[in-house]
């Protein structure tokens, strides 16, 4: 078969699907391959056994074997067939900057080049607030119950529940979201191909989430679990969420990777307090000690979203900014430290002495109140003085 793709096959999605499906191709390698060139040009380079210097350096000693493997696979691949197979499997393909790509990820620190999606039924992005509920696979009955309640109550309030469809806390949060009658549809981000259910015990849950909400991931069909795919998935979970809630996490739990990704993206992080003798709560309790906001119920999460809880059983959910007389303690500390000159986050941390979790939560609160804006990586105070300052 010809090493060059047909001249009339210039569809961006088709070439991206073909590229991401090459053996040993991952998100970082794909970005390096596409740096400064389009998918069609990159595919033609792969067919000729050529890779850009940046990618060659990334591959190191394995360059020759990996590039040879790509070239051989590309020469036996019809680009249009790869895309057709994805569509026949009931999946859609969206790419960065293209139609249907999640707006929250467009300016992400590490945006996925291509995403595979299933379900959704045309659900638009960004019309609802979103909360990521994450935690350990080795959860306790306490953690599972809390995650289910949070998922159910958040969905009932019109909040999109985002999680990773893993066993444990993730699954419980999605089960809760599905329990909410007429609640917001859930979103699941997975680290495998959408046709590879992992863990297999979640097969029915995957189907229910796809029917009611949507599932997405950056791995092509047929991709099984790998060690690096879950941390890569976690950055997407953090990027899609307005707020992150950790229900249970061990001291070195994978959920803490999602916390790091959320903090890098200035997302508020909340943690559910747990028993001090429970290993499953050690990570959450440490987050709380470091300044994370406690999540003791749905009201705390809605407050972080600047939403309010319905006044009573007969009232519909009121969604909108929460009236506040002024910033909370940490947020006021940040505001006072900021003064009236633009300041970077590192300098602000040095001035306030606040732990990273508390600092990010305080900055998010100030942004929600309209008191601070961020421009080119610097925070700047807005307004000429606040009413609570006036005597």
CA distance 339 to 381: 7
CA distance 113 to 117: 13
With the C-alpha atoms ordered 34, 38, 41, 47, is the resulting torsion angle positive or negative?
positive
Write out the two tokens for 364.
């998010």
Burial class of 110 by CB neighbour count within 10 A (0 to 12, 13 to 18, 19+): middle
DSSP letter, residue 322? P
Torsion of CA 116, 253, 186, 192, to 10 degrees: 20
Q: Among 254, 264, 265, 263, which residue's Cα sits nearest to residue 290?
A: 263
Beta-ladder partners of 293: 270
**Inter-CA distances, 252 with 286, 287, 288, Å:** 11, 12, 15
Write out the two tokens for 69.
């493997």
* CB-based contacts of 122, cutoff 8 Å, min separation 6: none
Identify the H or E element spanning 317: none
* CB-based contacts of 195, cutoff 8 Å, min separation 6: 89, 91, 221, 222
Confidence at residue 369, expressed as pLDDT on a 0 to 100 scale: 80
**pLDDT tens track of the chain, all 391 residues?**
334 433 334 489 999 999 999 999 988 999 999 998 999 999 999 999 988 888 988 999 999 999 999 999 998 899 999 999 999 989 999 999 899 999 999 999 999 999 999 998 767 888 899 999 999 999 999 999 999 999 999 999 999 999 999 999 999 999 999 999 889 999 999 999 999 999 999 999 999 999 999 999 999 988 998 888 888 999 999 999 999 999 999 999 889 999 999 999 999 999 999 999 999 999 999 999 999 999 999 999 999 997 544 444 434 334 433 333 467 778 888 888 887 777 888 888 888 888 887 888 788 888 878 788 877 677 888 764 444 443 3
DSSP letter, residue 91? -
* CB-based contacts of 52, cutoff 8 Å, min separation 6: 32, 33, 35, 36, 37, 45
Question: Cα 52 to the chain's mean position, in Å?
Answer: 29
Identify the H or E element spanning 96: none
Confidence at residue 324, expressed as pLDDT on a 0 to 100 scale: 39
Confidence at residue 354, expressed as pLDDT on a 0 to 100 scale: 86
Q: What is the DSSP string of 149-215?
A: HHHHHHHHTTPEEEE---TTHHHHHHHHHHHSTTPPPPEEE-SS-TTS-SSGGGHHHHHHHHHHSEE
Q: Is residue 195 within 8 Å of residue 222, measured between CB atoms?
A: yes
CA distance 257 to 161: 19
Confidence at residue 42, expressed as pLDDT on a 0 to 100 scale: 93
Beta-ladder partners of 375: 378
Beta-ladder partners of 215: 118, 188
DSSP letter, residue 60? G
Confidence at residue 117, expressed as pLDDT on a 0 to 100 scale: 95
Burial call 216-238: b when 16+ CB within 10 Å, e when fewer: bbbbbbebeeeeebbebbbbbbb
Q: What is the DSSP string of 210-268?
A: HHHSEEEESSPTT----TTHHHHHHHHHHHH-SEEEE----TT-THHHHHHHHHHTT--
* Strand 269-271, strand 293-294: pairing: parallel
CA distance 77 to 17: 11
Cβ–Cβ contacts within 10 Å for residue 319, how many? 16
Question: Cα 364 to the chain's mean position, in Å?
Answer: 17
CA distance 151 to 176: 5
Q: Is residue 241 within 8 Å of residue 267, measured between CB atoms?
A: yes
Backbone angles phi, psi at 67, to 5 degrees: -65, -40
**Inter-CA distances, 334 with 6, 178, 251, 386, Å:** 58, 39, 29, 14
């Amino acid at each position: 078969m010809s090493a060059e793709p047909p001249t009339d096959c210039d569809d961006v999605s088709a070439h991206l699907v073909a590229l991401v499906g090459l053996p040993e191709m991952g998100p970082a390698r794909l970005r390096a391959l596409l740096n400064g060139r389009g998918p069609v040009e990159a595919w033609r380079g792969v067919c000729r056994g050529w890779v850009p210097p940046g990618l060659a350096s990334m591959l190191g000693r394995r360059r020759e074997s990996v590039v040879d493997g790509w070239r051989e696979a590309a020469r036996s691949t019809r680009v249009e067939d790869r895309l057709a197979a994805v569509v026949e499997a009931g999946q859609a393909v969206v790419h960065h900057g293209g139609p249907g790509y999640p707006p929250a990820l467009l300016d992400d620190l590490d945006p996925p080049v291509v995403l595979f999606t299933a379900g959704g039924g045309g659900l638009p992005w960004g019309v609802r607030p979103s909360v990521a509920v994450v935690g350990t696979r080795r959860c306790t009955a306490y953690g599972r119950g809390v995650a289910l309640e949070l998922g159910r109550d958040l969905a009932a309030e019109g909040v999109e529940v985002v999680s990773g469809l893993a066993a444990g806390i993730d699954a419980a949060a999605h089960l809760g979201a599905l329990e909410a009658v007429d609640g917001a549809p859930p979103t699941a981000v997975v680290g495998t191909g959408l046709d590879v259910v992992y863990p297999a015990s979640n097969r029915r849950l995957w189907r229910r989430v796809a029917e009611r909400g949507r599932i997405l991931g950056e791995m092509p069909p047929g991709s099984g679990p790998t060690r690096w795919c879950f941390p890569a998935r976690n950055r997407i979970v953090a990027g899609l969420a307005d707020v992150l809630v950790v229900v249970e996490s061990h001291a070195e739990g994978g959920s803490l990777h999602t916390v790091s990704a959320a903090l890098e993206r200035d997302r508020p992080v909340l943690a559910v307090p747990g028993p001090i003798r429970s290993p499953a709560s050690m990570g959450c309790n440490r987050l709380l000690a470091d300044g994370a906001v406690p999540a003791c119920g749905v009201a705390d999460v809605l407050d972080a979203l600047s939403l309010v809880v319905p006044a009573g059983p007969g009232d519909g959910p009121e969604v909108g900014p929460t009236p506040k007389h002024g910033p909370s303690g940490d947020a006021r500390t940040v505001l006072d430290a900021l003064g009236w000159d633009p300041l970077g986050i590192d300098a602000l941390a040095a001035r306030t002495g606040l732990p990273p979790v508390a600092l990010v939560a305080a900055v998010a609160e100030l942004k929600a109140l309209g008191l601070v804006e961020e421009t080119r990586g610097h925070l700047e105070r807005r307004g000429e003085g606040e009413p609570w300052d006036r005597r």
